[in-house]
Amino acid sequence: MAFTVVACDDGEVRKLGEGLTTVACIAYRELWPFDASLGLIRVDGLDATSVLSGMISLMARPPGAVLLDSITIGGFNVVSLPGLSRLTGMPAIVVYSYEPSVERLEAPLRQHFADAELRLRALAPIRGARRVMTRRGELYLVTWGIELSEAVKVVEAYQYFTKVPEPIRVAHRLASEASRLMGLQQA
């Protein structure tokens, strides 16, 4: 059975926005995309894990991995990596182009959310971000259910043009365009 990577990202989100935004997941088998899905999540909501896991489960089965560009999606809608992995049966790899910091997120979370503690617990894996040098440059990876060395191999296999893996880039473009076309998150 071929290894499948499913990358998910959110669409446009205004700062302190409300309402809905799109999320896109795109599945790659080897080098090629073979499936895509669009969904909606609440901006700053708590539904990202369930929505993404449902979308992913309809597209792919293990063996594979889920790629995200952040644990937060749709504003401060936090993805639970253990929950995502458990619900999909696949490990998660979060790919940051910068060094992530829970501390930078803590004050805004506490200021704007009564459930800040819950969101901070979901963000805890960020503290384990590891700096890695890939063939295309420096990244920070947060992994769940996969060894760092294996995660680096997965990321490098999809670094076609930049250090950002192509499935993440495509998911971002798809979600952003869908948000724009549907009129979500416009000023």
**Domain CATH code at residue 38:** 3.30.2170.10
Are 171 and 13 a contacting pair, CB within 8 Å? no
- pTM, two decimal places: 0.94
Residue 187 lies in a domain: no
Number of domains, the chain: 1
Residue 131 lies in a domain: yes
Domain range for 59 is 4-182
Residue 144 lies in a domain: yes
Query: What is the rounded CA–CA span in Å between residue 103 and residue 121?
Result: 12
Residue 152 lies in a domain: yes
| pLDDT tens-digit series, residues 91-143 | 999 999 999 999 999 999 999 999 999 999 999 999 999 999 999 999 999 99
Radius of gyration of the chain (CA): 15
Are 28 and 167 a contacting pair, CB within 8 Å? yes
Q: Reply yes or no on whether the pLDDT at 160 is more than 80.
A: yes
Q: Reply yes or no on whether the pLDDT at 14 is more than 90.
A: no
